[in-house]
Amino acid sequence: MSISKFPDRKNFLPVNRNDLSQRGWKNCDFIIISGDAYVDHPSFGAAVIGRVLEDAGYKTGIIAQPDWKDPEAFKVLGRPRLGFLITSGNLDSMVNHYTSAKKRRRSDSYSPGGKCGLRPDRALIPYTSAARAAYSAVPVILGGIEASLRRLSHFDYWSGRLRRSILIDSKADLLVYGMGEKQIIEIARRLAEGEDVRRLQDIRGTVYRMGMREEEKTNSGKGIGKPLALPSFAEVSASKEAFANSFVLRYKNTNPFTAKALAEKTDAQVAVQNPPAAALSEAELDGIYSLPFTRRAHPDYESKGGIPALKEVEFSLTVNRGCYGGCSFCSLAFHQGRIIQARSISSVTAEAEKMTQLPGFKGIIHDVGGPTANFFHPACEKQRTSGACEHRECLYPEPCPNLDVDHSRYLELLRGLRELDGVKRVFIRSGIRFDYLMTAVEQDRQRGQNKECDGPGSGIEFINELCEYHVSGQLKVAPEHVSDQVLKFMKKPKNAVYQRFVREFESVNSRLGKKQYIIPYLISGHPGSGLNEAIELALYLKKQGFIPDQVQDFYPTPASLSTCMYYTGIDPFTGKKVYTAKTREEKNMQRALLHFHKPENRKIVIKALQKAGRNDLIGNSKSCLVRPAGYKRSGR
């Protein structure tokens, strides 16, 4: 499809009645309500669902960032024939609005010109209310990341308490969790056939609600098998141990091959979560990315400064979904799942060829990846047919013996992209899982000692080509910490693995004659980290002579294992207590220790060191982290 600098409005989903008239439509089958501005790019969930429905023959429009206080704003496309589809956008609306210190953010990269305040807090609730006020009898279906991670009871960091399923709080009819393409097509078909939305209780990857009397009558609801009863909302609210137990049951039922339906009673209602939808096949995933996305923000935003978030992904390629990395602070297992779903090389290459024709493309593909760039096939053969193991992680605490460690297919893709006409550079910025890569390198070296082994192996080839072709001077990776005590609770590899990767990276760059550097992402204040662990990280940074830019205070977002530990003070899988920094003062201390060199942090760093009994690190010697209070550097 040829795309001009300012694509015609007809290339986008309708956003007003004039757009409907141009298409000859009187109304839409579905109207998407989104907390994000409308960007027609496959990195934006609302656009993907809209294009999938359009491809299936459903008339679909989108109302982006409507005024939730005015029901008339929800009528700009008229009454939808089949339903409203509501999402807060690509981020949870609270994460979008607030920092980890609960301070209001100064900009919103998913809004025109970065303007704040164009969506409400906990957006699904007021959006549903306004949609109901506009057209009371129209089905309302929730989806997106906010719906996925708040689908059952969850800790809400911003209010400091547990909240009910957002399906119950919003009073919507149905909730879709996960990426949603399979679910939305089945929902659309059945609604179009005249089925009542309240009868849609057997669709995988959805949550429905019913009254207690209905639940008692049916005993098992009308869903997929008899649900496994979770502790009720009253029970998890009264007992942190009960919430921890509930978390374990939910985590163990994220595998679409083995998961059971789950039921959680809340007051006079029951939220029933059906098992996850099956992973998409390669052909299905290819089909989604072949849809006619313009890869542009809607033309209405041109005069408003555009959409900043598009700049990060406009010339990037998403090649996979899912992650079996298992990091505690990540909620991906509850959204995309642990099974890797990868596109075909021909599909990615075809998308890249189209990208080279876009206005503004300067020959640089900014990223080729997904949640984890170098996971380009399932973890093992078992994962293809049975899903991820319930009682075992693929990489933690050590790589599983059955892990299929191979970069050859990803290398083939990268080599093909480098050869395309119009492509000058291909970068990888979405994250390399360094422990997976080092496992591959070490396996290559072991095979290399075998005289029957030919070639260096895909691990060694990959790190060589990574350094030679795919790093733009700095490679961002995520060790997160250096204390093995903290890394254990993060479910990250031991620090020694990261150090081996650093040495390998430096060795390869030295041989290539390149000056390239690793930029590590670090987290302060994670469960398991006290002042002593924060000091350990500060001393490491001082020894390395490295001043980190990428430091994130631990952010307890809904549904992650780390958030469960933060709220309960318990490792839910072992039942053991976990130390967690809860006070703002200690959080600030741990954060300041990572920037101990800043003059404005001197007082709080001294206070932290004194509290930890590390007065030996306060002084004028090179071994100290900070000068004493009142110290003034003498000038020359």
- Residues 553 and 222: their CA atoms lie apart, in Å, by 43
Q: Which residues contact 78 (CB under 8 A, 6 or more apart)?
A: 17, 20, 26, 27, 28
- Residues 118 and 166: their CA atoms lie apart, in Å, by 21
Going through 329-387 in order, the beta strands assigned E by DSSP cover 341-342, 364-365, 367-369
CA 123 to chain centre: 18
| Number of CB atoms found within 10 A of residue 506's CB | 14
Query: Which amino acid is it at 4?
Result: S
* Residue 330 in marked binding region: yes
Helix ranges (DSSP H) in 268-344:
282-289, 308-313
Cα distances from 13 to residues 59, 77, 79, 205, 391, in angstroms, run 9, 11, 16, 25, 44
Task: Answer yes or no: are the C-beta atoms of 156 and 102 closer than 8 Å.
Answer: no
DSSP symbol at 203: -
- Residues 399 and 401: their CA atoms lie apart, in Å, by 6
* Residue 453 in marked binding region: no
Q: Which residues contact 446 (CB under 8 A, 6 or more apart)?
A: none
3-state SS class at 271? strand
Please name the helix (run of DSSP H) or strand (run of DSSP E) that holds residue 251, with its range, or none: helix 240-251
CA 420, 352, 277 angle in degrees (round to 5)?
140
Q: Which of 373, 234, 291 is nearest to 41 (CA)?
A: 291
78 is written with which tokens? 């008229």
* Residue 323 in marked binding region: yes
27 is written with which tokens? 């109304």
Query: Which amino acid is it at 170?
Result: S
- Residues 616 and 625: their CA atoms lie apart, in Å, by 9
Please name the helix (run of DSSP H) or strand (run of DSSP E) that holds residue 464, with its range, or none: helix 458-469
- Residues 378 and 404: their CA atoms lie apart, in Å, by 8
Binding-site residues, in ranges, read 323, 327, 330
Binding-site residues for [4Fe-4S] cluster, in ranges, read 323, 327, 330
